Amino acid sequence: MQEHVNDHYVQEAKRLGYRARAAFKLIEIDARDRLLRSGQIVVDLGSAPGSWSQVAAAKLRRNGTVIALDLLAMEGIAGVEFIQGDFSQDAVLAALEAALRGGQVDLVLSDMAPNMSGVAAVDQARGMLLAELALEFAGKWLKPSGALLVKVFQGEGFDGFRRQMMDAFATVGVRKPKASRDRSSEVYLLGTGKKG
């Protein structure tokens, strides 16, 4: 708890009005890869408490659409449409697809993580399943020029998922932003140039 309170990114998030330190992960990746642009349709999976949606909405400057989805409740953000539900459930996926109103997506962001059980093998498998669901959604709804940024945990299934990403995108890169804790096995895979 003390580490969290003293954390530079936690303090900066409070100072700048972001809901979580995770905002800085997306800010850093976006500064490098220029993912967020005015006029886009952006889907933010695993959005609560909303820091990535805050960053996306600010970059779009109300010219574009941000649709956020999470199992947990999320306080409203100007310019963001929020859907609460389990992304693995067909009805929730249908609600998200309906919110797109037939439009194709420019960017899918997935910071989804499973509720941790404490059993490493179980948590890893659940995390990989969420990444696969995000990739499946991106495959269906991304524009050919679109991108997918997805959180994955290094471990069992990581290499296989990376190969799936490489089958789906022209370019796949690994990003480990400074705001990601060193001891965490999380990295972000960025797929650009959707194939097919």
Pick from 61, 57, 55: nearest CA to 12: 55
- Give every CB contact of residue 64 below 8 A, 6+ residues apart in sequence: 38, 39, 40, 41, 42
Q: Is 151 a catalytic residue?
A: yes
Please give the backbone phi and psi of residue 185, each rounded to the nearest 5 degrees, phi first: -85, 5
From edge to edge, which strands make up the β-sheet containing 186-194? 80-84, 65-70, 41-45, 105-110, 142-153, 186-194, 169-175
CA 193 to each of CA 2, 31, 140: distance values in angstroms, whole numbers, following the listed order: 42, 18, 14
Q: Which of 143, 151, 176, 194 is catalytic?
A: 151
HEC per residue, 70-114: ECCCCCCCCCEEEEECCCCCHHHHHHHHHHCCCCCEEEEEECCCC
Chain CA centroid to CA 171, Å: 18
For the annotated catalytic residues, the residue numbers are 151
